[in-house]
Structure 1
Amino acid sequence: MTPDELSAAITACLIAAVDAGDLAVPAGTIPNQVRVERPKSREHGDWATSIALQLAKPAGLPPRKVAEILSTRLAEIAGVAKVDIAGPGFLNITVEAAAAGALAKHIVETGKDYGVNDALAGHVINMEFVSANPTGPLHLAHTRWAAVGDSIARVLAASGAQVTKEYYVNDAGSQMNNFGASVLASIQGKPTPEGGYPGRYIDDLAATVLTDHPDVRELTDEAALPVVRAAAYQAQMADIRETLADFGVEFDVYFTEQDLHNGAIEAAVERLRAQGHVFDQDGAVWLRTTDFGDDKDRVLIRANGEPTYFAADAAYYLSKKDRGFTEKIYLLGADHHGYIGRLKAIAACAGDDPDVNIEVLIGQMVSVNGARLSKRAGNIVELRDLLNWLGADALRYSLGRSPANSPMSLEPEVLQKNTNENPVFYVQYAHARTSAVSRNAAAASVQRTAFDAGALNHASESELLAQLGAYPSVVADAARFREPHRVARHLEVISGSYHRWYDSCRVTPVGDAEITDVNRTRLWLNDATGQVLANGLGLLGVSAPERM
């Protein structure tokens, strides 16, 4: 019995109880999909649901009474062996061995869609992350935001949300002039100007610019600067995109700040003024963000007529709103805590609900033991160097298996080991082992031509099936809490269960022994495990090798 089948059975029991007059709840109270999940202890059954607690208030009954009404009907469902009521009204459900084993066939037949759910169906989300300044290469901090942000977007999409991954390019302001001046100075053989960007990568950009614009040396500084700045900017963004692609991160939208300086900021100020939150003081234009919890009001337009970065933030938020994104998620670095209040205030000033329409996630710092500073940038650890050193899979998995709001340190000596001590190796090896078992089965003429769910009755099979069955709820929780590390940790649990099953149960018969339906059914379970591991690794942006 699959989680979806059990959920549907509980819903049917609820409807039957209402039709029979045993339960009186308002129309629309019964959910379309009742949530079922694996209890923490297998002693409490195979599945658990809190639906009785959810319906107690609208039904006007104690939770345990609702649970009693449901348990009587659930116990009569085919495949259900036992229903217990625990605590204030939790329903713990034990299914028959054959019903439990049926999950293996369901997973194989569902394939890549196993774990996909509709918990967030209807949610239209803009997910902005990384957004590094285009004045230098991506570095270690960006690495974590890229890995975690991309995985969050993947689990959101797997839970039914419509997600757009967006990179905000800060390509306006004095920093771009300083960047262009640094590259121009390199072209001219001059030292880095004050406030400029040092590093060998500037010399590399200068060489690229010269290749495309060989006559730039003949121009005056005033004429050369915009040419150099634009060309260096394009070259640096190309490097950023290529590095992200090598890291397995693709963005749907690259939104440039320059686009906001073509009337969008002024239009945004007037829209906010119409909302009643803009005021003029001391020659400047302000947004009254203190009305919505910010620690102080914010300047939008300075007295000299120049817009602030905050004005660009406001215009950018309105752009997301205008593009139809009802939910906007920002993943910011550890030094951006102060942005939470002001961003939520912008949402409120724009007429949105800051508790619904905007979400700001703060990621903490990451360090790498023994990492060397970039030879090109000089004072940072470059993402490209990390990729060359550790590989994309090790980086993606390691960064994805820890909560983003906790500081962490990567241990290269562990990540380079081909042992169970290395978490990514442990999970990938489990997948490779399922592939090897499939190949060996094919060589021994064991095929999935028959399936006897009741044959999966070994203790290790029950354990493995339980963990495979829990996977969809883990994905849903990872999306709901924006915590893809839940997927990684569960894959490690599945891998452990699989390795124990591998040691206890054979798929191929010994020697010339006859091939039976037990062998064939175990092949279904083996392949189901491989499918779940591949699905979960895919959500983390990590490959699922067939050989290691």
Structure 2
Amino acid sequence: MTPVELSRTVLCAVRRAVEGGELTVAVPTRAVVAPPGPGGRGDYATNIALQLARPAGRAPLDVAEILRPLLQETTGVADVEITGPGFLNIHLERATATAALVREILQRSGGMGMGISKADPGFDVDSGISNADSGIGADTRINVDSRIDVDTGIASGTQPIRGAQTTPATPTPAETPPPYGHTPTLVGQVIALRIPYDIRAEVVADTLVRIIATQGGRAEVHHVRSGEAVDLRPVPAPEDPAPLGPDAARWALLHPAAHDRPRITADHLLQRESNPLFRVRYAHARARALGRNAGRLGLDAVPGDVADAAPLTHALGAYPHALTQAAAHRAPDRLARHLVAVADGLLAFQHTVLPLGDEKPSAAHRARLALAEAAGTVLAGGLSLLGISAPDYL
């Protein structure tokens, strides 16, 4: 059950409570369903009871107690808990939850940035053996006297780092379907982004154009001069990030929160686990390698129950919410950090995907392969929104 389906389920429970005379309220048009916050439990939580308490003339806990059994009767819902002042925390049946989530991600993969680019195979993801120096070599630098073109992500008049690709063209809202399990929150809205003449502000605004488009809105970027009001003023980079190359430069500017000063260091180019950008791109490449190796084994991906990948499935389920928050708070760093969580979940899970030794391929392997492919899809789409390439070989 996806967040959108669960939102409809919550509204259906409210409607049934109203029709049964247990609540006297107008049924809302939307119910917010998101991963639980601190102190919450389960797969998703909703504040619908708090939302309806005042118009119903009831305490939030009373409303939650009315809705709880109605939600528990729903196919795919394993249990419902009430926490705090009246939050409904929903536990989904694992097989239903994982299979439905993976199925929708793969069905929507055409709109999530698949097949963005290919890079030179400096790291063999099939074998896990490095084929290149993990530091900065002569072929990984570009000239210092250049600026990054925020439309292409490439520094003008220079050669990009090894394996770098141009940034995907900025889409319009009509070209950018909403992510899986998600109702767009900015449909039809035109959002002005007034920014100073600063490279970091330009990269953040360029990324927000794409993120806001996933919510059905349209962002217009306007440069303003010193002293004029601005909507975005992230802390500037301490130096020109162009020498890092397009992908690492954009990550260095986007991964820190707007109030943090970005680090423009060679660490962003290292092929090591300590580098979050490497982990994200490597996880995507590993997902593609698993698919290639599965093809050699004649193993197809079939969405199903995966019981031992909770961190990964939770991160995939929370991806639409991360996009919503990134758009609402004008904070692409939230998307960047969420991609790290997806990558870490996949890298911890990847070793169980394919049969080992004399092990025979099973339904469990097919379900794990589908989950890994879904994770690769999300990583590719997220990197595309950040304007960073997602190579199949790294």
What TM bracket, shorter-length normalisation?
A: 0.7 to 0.9
Q: Which residue of 1 aligns with 2:95?
A: 98
Query: Is 1:403 the counterpart of 2:231 in the alignment?
Result: no
Q: Which residue of 1 aligns with 2:344?
A: 496
Q: Which residue of 1 aligns with 2:384?
A: 538
Q: Which residue of 2 aligns with 1:13?
A: 13
Secondary structure of residue in 2 paired with 1:360:
coil
- Of 419, 422, 432, 2:272 maps to 419
Q: Which residue of 2 aligns with 1:361?
A: 232
- Of 282, 296, 312, 1:443 maps to 296
Is contact 1:444–1:508 with CA below 8 Å preserved after alignment? Answer: no
Q: Which has the higher contact order (CA 8 A, sep 6+)?
A: 2
Is contact 1:101–1:465 with CA below 8 Å preserved after alignment? Answer: yes
Secondary structure of residue in 2 paired with 1:61:
coil
Matches within 5 A, 1:316-327: none
Secondary structure of residue in 1 paired with 2:108:
helix
Q: Which residue of 2 aligns with 1:123?
A: 189
| Distance verdict in 2 for CA 1:73–1:60, change over 3 Å | same
Q: Which residue of 2 aligns with 1:232?
A: none
- Of 28, 42, 55, 1:31 maps to 28
Secondary structure of residue in 2 paired with 1:361:
coil
Secondary structure of residue in 2 paired with 1:474:
helix
Is contact 1:366–1:407 with CA below 8 Å preserved after alignment? Answer: no
CA shift at 1:365, angstroms?
2.2
Matches within 5 A, 1:172-251: none
| Distance verdict in 2 for CA 1:494–1:439, change over 3 Å | same
One-letter code of the match for 2:228?
Y
Query: Is 1:394 the counterpart of 2:265 in the alignment?
Result: no
Secondary structure of residue in 2 paired with 1:44:
coil
Query: Is 1:109 the counterpart of 2:103 in the alignment?
Result: no
- Ranges in structure 2 where 5+ consecutive residues have no aligned partner: 113-176
Secondary structure of residue in 1 paired with 2:298:
coil
Is contact 1:7–1:36 with CA below 8 Å preserved after alignment? Answer: yes
Q: How high is the TM-score relative to the length of structure 2?
A: 0.78
Question: How far, CA to CA, are the matches of 2:336 and 2:37 in structure 1?
Answer: 18
Q: Which residue of 2 aligns with 1:77?
A: 74
Query: Is 1:339 the counterpart of 2:228 in the alignment?
Result: yes
* CA deviation vs aligned residue, 1:434-484 (integer Å, no higher than 9, x gap): 111111111111112x44x23x112xx122101110110111111111111
Query: Is 1:522 the counterpart of 2:368 in the alignment?
Result: yes
CA shift at 1:512, angstroms?
4.5
Query: Is 1:482 the counterpart of 2:330 in the alignment?
Result: yes
Question: How far, CA to CA, are the matches of 2:40 and 2:298 in structure 1?
Answer: 38
What percentage of residue pairs aligned between the two structures are identical? 37
One-letter code of the match for 2:207?
S
Secondary structure of residue in 2 paired with 1:126:
strand
Is contact 2:212–2:327 with CA below 8 Å preserved after alignment? Answer: yes
Question: How far, CA to CA, are the matches of 2:15 and 2:300 in structure 1?
Answer: 41
Q: Which residue of 2 aligns with 1:457?
A: 307
| Distance verdict in 2 for CA 1:43–1:59, change over 3 Å | closer
Is contact 2:40–2:83 with CA below 8 Å preserved after alignment? Answer: no
Is contact 2:195–2:231 with CA below 8 Å preserved after alignment? Answer: no
Question: How far, CA to CA, are the matches of 1:466 and 1:41 in structure 2?
Answer: 15
Is contact 1:117–1:476 with CA below 8 Å preserved after alignment? Answer: no
Matches within 5 A, 1:283-322: none
- Ranges in structure 1 where 5+ consecutive residues have no aligned partner: 133-141, 169-331, 341-358, 369-380
CA shift at 1:424, angstroms?
1.2
Give the length in aligned residue pairs. Answer: 325
* CA deviation vs aligned residue, 1:233-265 (integer Å, no higher than 9, x gap): xxxxxxxxxxxxxxxxxxxxxxxxxxxxxxxxx
Q: Which residue of 1 aligns with 2:202?
A: 146
Secondary structure of residue in 1 paired with 2:231:
strand
* CA deviation vs aligned residue, 1:333-389 (integer Å, no higher than 9, x gap): 8xx5x533xxxxxxxxxxxxxxxxxx7232222214xxxxxxxxxxxx4xxxx43x2
- Of 162, 165, 184, 2:218 maps to 162
One-letter code of the match for 1:547?
Y
* CA deviation vs aligned residue, 1:467-515 (integer Å, no higher than 9, x gap): 1101101111111111111000111111111111124x1x222245322
One-letter code of the match for 1:472?
P
Question: How far, CA to CA, are the matches of 1:143 and 1:525 in structure 2?
Answer: 37
| Distance verdict in 2 for CA 1:123–1:434, change over 3 Å | same
| Distance verdict in 2 for CA 1:498–1:467, change over 3 Å | same
Question: How far, CA to CA, are the matches of 2:336 and 2:260 in structure 1?
Answer: 17
CA shift at 1:54, angstroms?
1.1
Higher helix share: 1
Which moves more between the two structures, 102-111 or 488-497? 102-111
Question: How far, CA to CA, are the matches of 1:485 and 1:153 in structure 2?
Answer: 14
Q: Which residue of 2 aligns with 1:253?
A: none
CA shift at 1:43, angstroms?
6.9
Q: Which residue of 2 aligns with 1:86?
A: 83
CA shift at 1:407, angstroms?
4.0
Secondary structure of residue in 2 paired with 1:14:
helix
Question: How far, CA to CA, are the matches of 2:386 and 2:60 in structure 1?
Answer: 38
| Distance verdict in 2 for CA 1:486–1:47, change over 3 Å | same
Aligned residues: CA RMSD: 2.0
